[in-house]
Structure 1
Amino acid sequence: MATETTTFEIRKTTQSRIAEVDFSNLVFGRSFSDHMLVAKYENGQWGKTEIVPYGNLSLSPATAALHYGQTIFEGMKAYKNDEGEVLLFRPFDNWKRFNLSAQRMCMPTVPEEIFIGGLQELIRLDSDWVPTGAGQSLYIRPYMFSADEYIGVKPSDSYYLIIFTCPVGNYYSKPVKVRVETEYIRAAEGGVGAAKCGGNYGGSLYPAKLAQQDGYDQLIWTDAKEHKYIEESGTMNIMFVIDGKLVTPAVSSSILDGVTRKSIVAVAEYWNIPVEERRVSVAEIMDAVKAGKLDAAFGAGTAAVVSPFSHISFEGVDYALPELNDASFPVRVKEFLEKLRTGKTEDIFGWTLKV
């Protein structure tokens, strides 16, 4: 699938910073590629779209996003195949979700020719930044924020869309130890949990910090009303393998419709593995752990991809999960997605877009 692109104004950097990056030791989200895309919405329409050298922004202290949190983002990745061609993974799904987040946050939607077309131009320009090491990729961060210089609670009339990229390695280097959270919440039904907006993540930092101080890597979020039902884990969707079935909380107004989550469900169904998308209670999972029926539990997301859990803590007790092997579903599906994203296996789903 190809997208017709409009003409973008491109201003190239005079000196690339790529030589400063140690590609054998990539820290997630710390090294940034040479260029970024910038577009501004004002007077009811999207104006000129530019690709310019990566650099700092100049903003008024009264910029609305800094006060009222009208900001959204996406997380995407690009890979290289053995021929050196760059592949984007399911970018149209990210574009559609970005616009759903925009609608929920009372922001303008972004046309395909700017989001997809501009992204392709940006990746072509910075294709040398796409790493090829094991577990490596080019992480892509599109985001939009309100730009009015105005102190008043109302939707902004102007917005910036920016896309920048960074070469990354693995988000987690080992299985994750998680704790079921029964006091704080990530999102409430009818709120903005299904949108990728900044406030969801800002609000999660304190309870995550408390868990980390107690020796846990992340939290398992539960529902806001009763804390009886599992929703997400940290910044990831959460999935369980119980008696050979893939079980995951159904998408709702408080659960993000993850692209990686959807991909894993589709692969499981293609492999004829039973899949259940429904409400998942904490009690059900803990009963399965105690009965030895929980084969695996893992987080799924663009940054983390597939992150298996080593332990689940509930009510002060740590429960060790079975060690995984090459036949375990999380291991198999992670390997399959990695091969698909890098062109090492046939894209039977039509998910990749060659830049």
Structure 2
Amino acid sequence: MPFTTITGIGHYVPKNVVTNQDLTEVMETSDEWIRERTGIEERRYIERGKETTTSLAVEASLRAIADAGIDKEDIDFIVFATLSPDYYFPGAGVLLQRELGIAKTEIAALDIRAQCSGFLYGLSTADQFIKSGMYKRILLVGAEVHSVGLDFTTRGRNVSVIFGDGAGAVILEATEDKEVSVLSTTMHSDGTYAEKLSYMYPGAHGGYFIEKYGIEGFDVDYNLEENKYGGVFWNQDMLDKGRVYPHMEGQAVFKMAVRKFPEVILEALKKAGLGIDDLDLLVPHQANLRINQFVAHTMGLRDDQVYNNIMRYGNTTAASIPIALSEARDEGRLKKGDVVTLAAFGAGFTWAAAVLKWGK
């Protein structure tokens, strides 16, 4: 049975830098307030009308392809993780295929909707395809554009100050060498907390879950009789009441994240036949610097064993791990044979981890 190895990696972030001070111009906040709660100093936003989730993915993908020393036509499967696709449908995977100019190969393109855990869900999926022998060279991408869908007012600041735009990509290939391969992956979810971190409107639920679970802070804000055949998925009332923005209960997310992060990291290491003492570098999802620092302290990790870049980019959800992994490689933080653990926690709730031996 073949193993899976990363043969190419690349990332891309927009040139437009938005500092905490910039955000004070549109909402009541401060650089100190944002840094204290999140550790974020700045983030990147796309140039509207000229960049998209897919266009960021193209740039990251081309860099990963070049790094792997392959031709884009050599790719036989695309896995695209994002919570901010350019279209509600079709998915971003086929758009990436088209923009890369490889549509004529008619390879499959799979979209992953696991939010912050999306890249690791994608990695686990791709790993199984390679191990089964179905595919030999897979392009795995995590890309996000949050800046076009946030509430840039004081009402939305708790969420809006956190997120940024960016993309990261890897080329995964079959190998016989276990010493430079993915050693383990693990994934979990708990839908009990689905609405704690969510983007509920527009959507097809029609208020069903709001009524069923009595979700605090929400009500069924449209008349189903008046909208018998429409107006439930999307209507003006949703816009007027600010329903079309992300919702987050920060404390609930923080408490669950700091518990599940260490659990899933240790689970993945154990599955790989390793322990925390074998770990060379932890690359966690960049949701909140305070979460990552708490987890590192809890697990007894040194600062040089954890890679963080949320200070520069904010939370880029599915893109955060491949961006951080790419930067860590570029900065010389990785050498061949290093044991690297990737871990993520996010909306759903979903959480996941992977352990690999670095081969680049």
When you count strand as a share of all residues, which structure comes out higher?
1
User: Which structure is higher in RCO with an 8 Å CA cutoff and minimum separation 6?
Assistant: 2
TM-score range normalised by the length of the shorter chain: under 0.3
TM-score, length-normalised on structure 2? Answer: 0.27
When you count helix as a share of all residues, which structure comes out higher?
2
